């Protein structure tokens, strides 16, 4: 070989080959990221595209008359007598109110009264009835309400229902949509931001427009409280013992291997365990956030233990040695020095564990939380105990709504996914901020 | 130490919860076909009565009845929904666990319809067409041969030349059983295949019926284990697909699906109630009589569920797709008298 081949200005064949290999490798990495980002974009676009409209809702503003002859024949405003009039008895009053509004606006329509009444949600009679029972004095006069429009009308203003699809649809008609359009032009129908989606409880298959996440958010919140209160102290105590005090024997090795294994156990297994222990043996209430929280605690514990041990390990031994050197006891060196320094890592691990638990559905399937629940669960009642009342959870609500027949629930399910994503984003942001703020590097 | 305090709190919390665990809401579980009706009734019940809204879980008829039969007590469910009658084996399991007083309530009928994408071809089926299209093996010249029909035109000369692609409920669904018995088996008999199969196997009728109801597994028929929403998604992705749905699901999606007639009759609540439309089944729920008076609202909810305001021909359940039971008044009476099933 001559010296000419080793010029620094011209690349030899081997260097070219190595450079090309590096380029290929970088391109592979880049394309992997592009594919992942594209998948994320497609997911977000499809979810936000169909779900953003769940946060807006169509309302009909009408004045509902309350004739005494229909609502309180006794005339003495006895609540027992008044509650005899069911929501079926209130429906005609709403139709009267809407007809009056149509007349007042000078809109001509040839639809039957029954079809016109179908513009109003089936939820509305209950809203009005509850108002009347709470304010018996209104009987004999009237009151103005913002009532939910039915799902098809709401879908029309959101672009989900069109004149063409309405012509084929047994639940609405192009005439009904035209009337709705006229009412909107007259200012009687309005579409605006919908707080009820986050506050209201679930609704049955006939009322997609009324369905909300209230019970699910409350249930998820209760479960997260149970998980936090149980998993954090138990997990931290277990890790401190294992990391700082336990002698290194084959026995602690076994425990360590088992903890790592438990972190990888499919979550449905914890559901089976929860059913057997908490419901069948300990006789806690089915569908209760307490049982859900306990199951999720078991699921989250390994995550917290592993991250706590990792952050304790990252505290340099010199800190402990210095503490011990000036006369601190072992416990003092751990609690006064090692634990505070490991705290940011522990908090991050805990929040990530909670976020994982928040999105979990499978174990809740077995303990009865995949259910239709309309009553807000109380945190404590003397009968049901702490967190003992039936509830659902956010991911469960997504699962439930995707199974419903009415197309209106597609929008609701996507809206619930957006809500869940926002919660997860907040939790992960807190985790990152905490880590950035308190983390120390050595 | 803060975490010591937290641990104490946690232990105290667990102690409180174990102290008293009673519930005041009715708990229902079972068939996903009955679920929408049960939730509509529960919602209305909660609005109009002083009882809390019952909690309704789905999970399938068998799963619901299994939990129903776990025993009597506050941590077991009060009512099981089922899209088929309870089986003798399940009654025996119930009895072993102490659930001896069961009230059977038939709330109405559900139609099973065949529908395809609104932009696809339309069909007028007979059970025989479905048997010839989906059977695993067909009798031919005195022997069973694998089903070779690949196009609907091979099944029936009046049909378009469209590849056979069916989406039918998976075996865990109660709907599958009805489909097999009322469509496939009926078609097997009507086409004369049942008689031919009995000639081949030497006259064993049970075995012949089982052969009739074996569904081909070469991909022409796809089992859907999820819900009707999944069937709908599959049909929208494949214009040739024909799916099996509940009548209520179809009626809420008439802008996306077109329904096929069966033996010349279009499915509707009227044709099913009159018995002209051949594929339908009763829907039930089962009440634990021992829970009446213990869990508040059990009997009131059951009575409300089958009342004329709910399950009658003009009620909200019928509006959603339930075929009202002509003998509803007898059912109402049975609930009122708490008539338990005979052993």
A259-292 pLDDT, tens digit per residue, is 999 988 999 999 999 989 998 888 888 889 999 9
Q: Is the pLDDT of residue B116 over 70?
A: yes
Question: What is the chain A residue with the closest CA to B258?
Answer: A168
Look at A234 and B7 and tell me if their CB atoms are within 8 Å: yes
Strand, coil or helix: what is A343? helix
Smallest Cα distance from A328 to chain B, Å? 17
pLDDT value at residue A1: 47
Task: Evaluate if pTM is beyond 0.90.
Answer: no
Look at B17 and A368 and tell me if their CB atoms are within 8 Å: no
Cross-strand partners of B104: B286
Nearest to B57 among A170, A370, A404 (CB): A370
Give the Cβ contact number of residue A272 at 10 Å. 13
Q: Kindly state whether B15 is in contact with chain A, defined as any CB-CB distance less than 8 angstroms.
A: no
Spatial distance between the Cα atoms of B78 and B50, rounded to a whole number of angstroms: 18
Which residues from B are below 8 Å from A88, CB to CB? 309
Q: Of the ranges B75-89, B169-183, B264-278, B316-330, which one carries the lowest mean pLDDT score?
A: B169-183
Q: Kindly state whether A241 is in contact with chain B, defined as any CB-CB distance less than 8 angstroms.
A: no
A37-83 pLDDT, tens digit per residue, is 999 999 999 999 999 999 999 999 999 999 888 888 777 788 888 88
Look at A390 and B55 and tell me if their CB atoms are within 8 Å: yes
Residues of chain A with pLDDT under 50: 1-2
pLDDT value at residue B12: 55
Nearest to A286 among B42, B44, B75 (CB): B75
Nearest to A388 among B17, B32, B253 (CB): B17
Nearest to B55 among A170, A373, A385 (CB): A373
Spatial distance between the Cα atoms of A386 and A379, rounded to a whole number of angstroms: 6
pLDDT value at residue A137: 86
Smallest Cα distance from B21 to chain A, Å? 5
Q: What residues of chain A, 62 to 101, have a C-beta less than 8 Å from chain B?
A: 83, 86-88
Nearest to B10 among A206, A230, A335 (CB): A230
Q: Of the ranges A98-107, B13-22, B212-221, B307-316, which one carries the lowest mean pLDDT score?
A: B13-22
B2-110+281-336: what CATH class?
alpha beta
Residue with structure tokens 């049942």? B194
The model's confidence at residue B8, banded by pLDDT at 50, 70 and 90, is low
- SS3 of B87-126: the string is CHHHHHHHHHCCCCCEEEEEEEEEEEEEEEECCCCCCEEC
Spatial distance between the Cα atoms of B322 and B303, rounded to a whole number of angstroms: 17
Give the Cβ contact number of residue A39 at 10 Å. 10
Spatial CA neighbour of B341 closest among B96, B109, B92, B97 = B92
Question: What is the chain B residue with the closest CA to A128?
Answer: B47
Mean pLDDT of B7-18: 54
Q: How many CA atoms lie within 13 A of A212 on its CB side?
A: 21
When the candidates are 3.40.190.10, 3.40.50.720, 3.60.20.10, 3.40.640.10, the CATH number that belongs to B111-280 is 3.40.190.10
Which residues from B are below 8 Å from A300, CB to CB? none
Disruptive mutation site among A237, A373, A379, A409 for chain B (greatest number of B CBs within 10 Å)? A373
Nearest to A374 among B22, B35, B43 (CB): B43
Spatial distance between the Cα atoms of B140 and A185, rounded to a whole number of angstroms: 68
* Domains identified in chain A and CATH numbers: 57-192 (no CATH), 214-438 (1.10.3720.10)
pLDDT value at residue B11: 56
Q: Kindly state whether A122 is in contact with chain B, defined as any CB-CB distance less than 8 angstroms.
A: yes
Q: Is the pLDDT of residue B3 over 60?
A: no
Q: What residues of chain B, 118 to 147, have a C-beta less than 8 Å from chain A?
A: 118
Look at A286 and B7 and tell me if their CB atoms are within 8 Å: no
pLDDT value at residue B20: 45
Smallest Cα distance from A233 to chain B, Å? 5
pLDDT value at residue B5: 61
Q: Is the pLDDT of residue B335 over 50?
A: yes
Which residues from A are below 8 Å from B18, CB to CB? 282, 284, 385
Spans of all domains in chain B: 2-110+281-336, 111-280
B241-288 pLDDT, tens digit per residue, is 999 999 989 988 988 899 999 999 999 888 988 888 989 889 999 999
DSSP conformational letter for B159: S
Q: Kindly state whether A159 is in contact with chain B, defined as any CB-CB distance less than 8 angstroms.
A: no
Spatial distance between the Cα atoms of A284 and A158, rounded to a whole number of angstroms: 44
Which residues from B are below 8 Å from A46, CB to CB? none
Give the Cβ contact number of residue A86 at 10 Å. 17
User: What does the block give as tokens for A347?
Assistant: 């908090």
B147-176 pLDDT, tens digit per residue, is 989 999 998 888 999 999 999 988 877 788
Kindly list the distances between the CA atom of residue A102 and the CA atoms of A61, A109, A163, in Å, as whole numbers in the listed order: 11, 9, 21
Look at B47 and A129 and tell me if their CB atoms are within 8 Å: yes
Q: Kindly state whether B85 is in contact with chain A, defined as any CB-CB distance less than 8 angstroms.
A: no
Burial class (CB in 10 A: 0-12, 13-18, 19+), B288: buried
A217-251 pLDDT, tens digit per residue, is 999 999 999 999 999 999 999 999 999 998 989 99
């Amino acid at each position: 070989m001559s010296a000419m081949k080793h010029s620094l200005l011209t690349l030899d064949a081997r260097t070219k080959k190595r450079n090309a290999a590096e380029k290929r490798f970088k391109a592979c990495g880049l394309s992997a990221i592009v594919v992942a980002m594209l998948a994320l974009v497609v997911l977000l676009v499809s979810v936000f595209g169909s779900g953003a409209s769940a946060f807006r809702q169509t309302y009909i503003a009408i004045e509902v008359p309350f004739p005494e002859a229909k609502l309180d024949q006794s005339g003495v405003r006895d609540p027992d007598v008044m509650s005899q009039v069911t929501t079926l008895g209130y429906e005609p009053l709403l139709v009267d109110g809407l007809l009056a509004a149509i007349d007042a606006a000078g809109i001509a329509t040839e639809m039957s009264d029954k079809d016109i009444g179908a513009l109003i949600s089936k939820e509305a009679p209950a809203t009005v009835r509850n108002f009347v029972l709470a304010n018996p004095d209104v009987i004999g006069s009237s009151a103005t309400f913002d009532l939910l429009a039915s799902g098809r009308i709401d879908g029309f203003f959101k672009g989900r229902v069109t004149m063409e699809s309405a012509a084929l649809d047994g639940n609405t008609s192009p005439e009904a949509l035209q009337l709705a359009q006229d009412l909107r032009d007259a200012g009687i129908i309005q579409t605006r931001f919908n707080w009820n989606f986050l506050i209201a409880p679930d609704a049955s298959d006939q009322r997609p427009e009324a369905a909300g996440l209230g019970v699910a958010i409350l249930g998820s919140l209760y479960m997260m409280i149970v998980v936090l209160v149980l998993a954090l102290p138990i997990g931290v105590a277990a890790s401190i013992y294992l990391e700082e005090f336990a002698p290194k024997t084959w026995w602690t090795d076994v425990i360590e291997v088992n903890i790592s294994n438990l972190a990888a156990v499919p979550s449905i297994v914890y559901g089976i365990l929860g059913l057997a222990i908490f419901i069948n043996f300990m006789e806690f209430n089915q569908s209760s956030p307490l049982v859900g929280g306990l199951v999720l605690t078991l699921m989250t514990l390994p995550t917290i233990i592993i991250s706590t041990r990792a952050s304790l390990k990252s505290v340099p031994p010199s800190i402990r040695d210095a503490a011990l050197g000036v006369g601190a006891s072992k416990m003092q060196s751990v609690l006064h020095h090692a634990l505070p320094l490991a705290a940011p890592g522990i908090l991050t691990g805990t929040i990530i564990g909670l976020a994982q638990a928040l999105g979990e559905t499978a174990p809740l399937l077995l303990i009865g939380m995949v259910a239709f629940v309309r009553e807000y669960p109380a945190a404590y009642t003397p009968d049901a105990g702490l967190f003992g009342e039936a509830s659902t959870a956010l991911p469960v609500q997504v699962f439930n709504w995707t199974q419903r027949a009415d197309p209106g629930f597609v929008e609701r399910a996507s809206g619930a996914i957006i809500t869940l994503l926002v919660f997860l984003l907040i939790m992960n942001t807190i985790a990152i901020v905490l880590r950035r703020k308190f983390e120390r590097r050595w | 130490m803060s975490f010591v305090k937290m641990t104490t709190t946690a232990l105290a919390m667990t102690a409180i919860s174990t102290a008293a665990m009673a519930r005041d809401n009715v708990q229902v579980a079972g068939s996903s076909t009955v679920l929408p009706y049960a939730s509509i009734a529960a919602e209305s019940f909660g609005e109009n009565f002083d009882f809390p809204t019952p909690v309704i879980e789905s999970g399938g008829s068998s799963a619901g009845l299994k939990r129903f039969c776990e025993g009597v007590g506050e941590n077991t469910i009060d009512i099981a929904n089922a899209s088929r009658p309870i089986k003798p084996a399940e009654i025996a399991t119930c009895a072993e666990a102490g659930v001896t007083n069961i009230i059977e309530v038939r709330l109405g009928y559900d139609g099973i319809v065949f529908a395809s994408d609104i932009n696809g071809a339309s069909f007028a089926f007979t059970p025989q067409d479905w048997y010839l299209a989906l059977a695993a093996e067909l009798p031919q010249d005195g022997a069973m041969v694998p089903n070779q029909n690949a196009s609907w035109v091979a099944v029936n000369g009046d049909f378009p030349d469209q590849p056979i692609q069916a989406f039918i409920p998976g075996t865990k669904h109660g709907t599958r059983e009805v489909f097999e018995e009322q469509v496939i088996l009926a078609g097997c008999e009507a086409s004369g295949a049942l008689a031919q199969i009995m000639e081949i196997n030497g006259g064993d009728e049970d075995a012949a019926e089982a052969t009739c109801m074996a569904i081909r597994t070469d991909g022409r028929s796809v089992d859907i284990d999820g819900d009707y929403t999944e069937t709908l998604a599959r049909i929208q992705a494949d214009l040739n697909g024909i799916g099996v749905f509940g009548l209520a699901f179809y009626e809420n999606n008439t802008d996306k699906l077109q329904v096929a007639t069966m033996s010349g009759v279009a499915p509707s609540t009227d044709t099913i109630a009159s018995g002209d439309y051949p594929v339908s089944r009763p829907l039930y729920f089962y009440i634990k009589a021992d829970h009446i008076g213990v869990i508040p609202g059990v009997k009131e909810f059951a009575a409300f569920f089958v009342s004329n305001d709910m399950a009658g021909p003009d009620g909200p359940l019928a509006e959603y797709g339930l075929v009202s039971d002509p003998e509803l008044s007898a059912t109402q009476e049975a609930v009122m008298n708490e008539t338990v099933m005979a052993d």
